[in-house]
Amino acid sequence: MDAKTQVMGAGTRVVDPAQVMDRTQVVGGEQVMGPTQAGGPSQAEDPDASPGRGSVARPAVTQLRLSAFRSHRAAAFPLGPMTLFAGPSGSGKSNALQAYEALALLGAGRDLATAFPEPAECVPERAAADRQGRRGFRIGCTVDGPAGPVLLDLAVQTEPSLRVAGERLTGGGRTLLTTALRDPARSFVEAAWHTAGSATVTRGPLPDDRLGTALLPLRVAGSTAAQLQVLAAAEQVVVALRSVFACDPRPERMRRPVPAGAGRLRRGCDNLAEVLHRTRSECAKRHARLASAARMGCAGAVADVAVEELAGGQVRALLARGGALGSTPVGRLGEGELRYLGLALVLLTGPGVLAMDQVAEVPVAYQSLTVLADGFDRSLDPEQMRQLVALGAEMCARGHIRLVGTVTDASCARGIDGVTVVDLVP
């Protein structure tokens, strides 16, 4: 596959890891990573927070590598605060986001079967098996943050069985972790991680259906500077990968009334009314920004985005038109308007409102939420797309949220500061 990239915006600033975390806490006899200081107020809860507040470099994925995955071979894509993969159908846009989401699931401790429900489809077409009859794929990423650039590369075997074939974690010019499948008859890989001291590496088995990097905090003691380097690198990768929310608003579901409750916004935004019912009074600034965004992306006059309580404990979202104009239930809105509203709400909110795996042991001030939006421009008209790109660029510039999306045409995003456009050609 050929890919040309246009990169704009500044990179991630790096700070001393000692300013961010004490990497070791003893919990139940095991040394694990944990924070030593509380984070400040969450920018994710305040859409008007000043850009770049604080001195912390939040861990972030800055490159996605698809060495051999579906339609991609030897591909390396830069990721900025806001990145749009652009290209026609069949160019591999969705494949890139699938690989990113799979890495996020593995970083959260999920197994290979969960991250890759159809693993055979991930193998590049016409990829030949080796002499042992094995086929598979290779993906990876680079995570920048307090520990500097850390590279994670993963090889997955899909045939004859789904398992990790090998993994490598590198940082600071040193290999920090390697795993390899030595004996196919056993359900583990042989791992070796950097320790220094009397032995330069420590060896041990790790499960062959999990990401070894995510398991290192349970295996590395953190008693030497080298071990602390390993833990810092692993922590940085895990925090960046776990802070991911995949969003694909489903208009046909968003139109229905839903039970009122304290739920968090789901991937399809089908419980939009439930979330608005709970949050519209929690952050007046955020809600005002959502109403402003609705005015720019929805037809007709929009005074507010409201919620109506119905019989049976259900609620539905409305567009308040103002004055004698009354209101319009979102069930009457077009698909583009509903997708626009769902994506705008996600960009204006934070992890506490989204149905995602939260890194509870790390202060929010050290995390950066990444939104994955496949079909970011689906059903949107050109003006809606321009408004949503502008909102995304603005929010991503603040540092607490990042966006990786796919579009057919990225013309409205070119030239915008902080936006990375990756053009893919079938």
- Residue 3 has a pLDDT of 44
Give the residue among 88, 86, 62 at the shortest CA–CA distance from 76.
62
Give the Cα separation of 152 and 309 in Å (integer).
48
At 302 the three-state DSSP class reads coil
User: Domain boundary residue among 192, 224, 243?
Assistant: 243
Residues 227 and 336 in one domain: no
Residue 419 in domain: no
Q: Say if CB 390 and CB 266 are below 8 A apart.
A: no
User: Domain boundary residue among 243, 268, 294?
Assistant: 243
Residues 275 and 206 in one domain: no
Cα 282 from chain centroid? Answer: 25
- Residue 222 has a pLDDT of 87
What is the count of structural domains for the chain? 2
Residues 171 and 84 in one domain: yes
Residue 418 in domain: no
Residues 220 and 130 in one domain: yes
- Residue 17 has a pLDDT of 31
Q: What are the residues facing 174 on neighbouring strands?
A: 171
Which residues have CB under 8 Å from 117's CB, separation 6+?
none
Which residues have CB under 8 Å from 16's CB, separation 6+?
146
User: Domain boundary residue among 243, 274, 299?
Assistant: 243
- Residue 197 has a pLDDT of 64
Residues 175 and 232 in one domain: yes
Residues 337 and 220 in one domain: no
Q: Say if CB 278 and CB 294 are below 8 A apart.
A: no
Give the residue among 299, 296, 282 at the shortest CA–CA distance from 335.
299
Radius of gyration of the chain, Cα coordinates, nearest whole angstrom: 22
Q: Say if CB 339 and CB 249 are below 8 A apart.
A: yes
Q: What six digits make up the tokens of 128?
A: 């030949």
Q: Which domain holds residue 161?
A: 2-243
Q: With the C-alpha atoms ordered 297, 351, 69, 119, is the resulting torsion angle positive or negative?
A: negative
SS (H, E, C) 209-250: CCCHHHHHHHCCCCCCHHHHHHHHHHHHHHHHHHCEEECCCC
Give the Cα separation of 154 and 105 in Å (integer).
13
Q: Say if CB 81 and CB 397 are below 8 A apart.
A: yes
Residues 146 and 178 in one domain: yes
Residue 414 in domain: no
Q: Is 313 exposed, middle or buried (0-12, 13-18, 19+ CB in 10 A)?
A: exposed
Residues 103 and 163 in one domain: yes
- Residue 366 has a pLDDT of 77
- Residue 198 has a pLDDT of 64
Residue 71 in domain: yes
Residue 168 in domain: yes
Residues 195 and 263 in one domain: no
Q: With the C-alpha atoms ordered 128, 132, 135, 140, is the resulting torsion angle positive or negative?
A: negative
**Residue 335: C-alpha distances to residues 31, 264, 300, 360 (Å):** 50, 22, 15, 35
Amino acid code (one letter) for 190: E
Residue 209 in domain: yes
pLDDT < 70 stretches in the chain: 1-56, 197-198
DSSP string, 116-136: -SSGGGGSPTTPPP-TTS-EE
Cα 268 from chain centroid? Answer: 16
Residue 217 in domain: yes
Give the Cα separation of 146 and 413 in Å (integer).
30
Residues 24 and 154 in one domain: yes
Residues 15 and 121 in one domain: yes
Residues 265 and 233 in one domain: no
Residue 105 in domain: yes
